[in-house]
Structure 1
């Protein structure tokens, strides 16, 4: 497979981890044709879960 956007691919390689994860999540949601409202609701659930775990963790 040929990379049609080598500069954007290079930029993504050098992007912060949170940006890389966001791009992966967007790709996952779009490739599975997840409804926008369903995706947003799921993201809210995941965020609440992560915040709860973060609050309970003495290392963070």
Structure 2
């Protein structure tokens, strides 16, 4: 199953009924998360390896959010 054909189930933290949202209507971060999960699972990446790699990616992206002084 490709990530684009997924329907998301979401519910607030309280006990409200689940709501289905088509993936193409979901927020961009949800779409990316679904794509990443699909990629990791389809390549049979072990969870501890995926988490370690995601930590590296997180640090890289956070460093890009921090303004760097311009060197001349």
Gaps of 5+ in 2: 9-20
The reply on whether 1:11 has 2:10 as its aligned counterpart is no
**CA shift digits 1:5-46 (9 cap, x unpaired):** x78276101000000000000000000000100000000000
Gaps of 5+ in 1: 1-5
> Using the alignment, how far apart are the partners of 2:6 and 2:44 within structure 1?
27
Q: 3-state SS of the aligned residue for 1:56?
A: coil
How many matched pairs? 52
The reply on whether 1:20 has 2:19 as its aligned counterpart is no
TM-score (norm 2): 0.65
Q: What corresponds to 2:45 in structure 1?
A: 34
Which has a greater percent of strand? 2
> Using the alignment, how far apart are the partners of 1:32 and 1:18 within structure 2?
21
What RMSD over aligned residues (CA atoms) do the two structures have, in Å?
2.2
TM-score (norm 1): 0.77
> Using the alignment, how far apart are the partners of 1:43 and 1:19 within structure 2?
16
Greater RCO (CA < 8 Å, at least 6 residues apart): 2
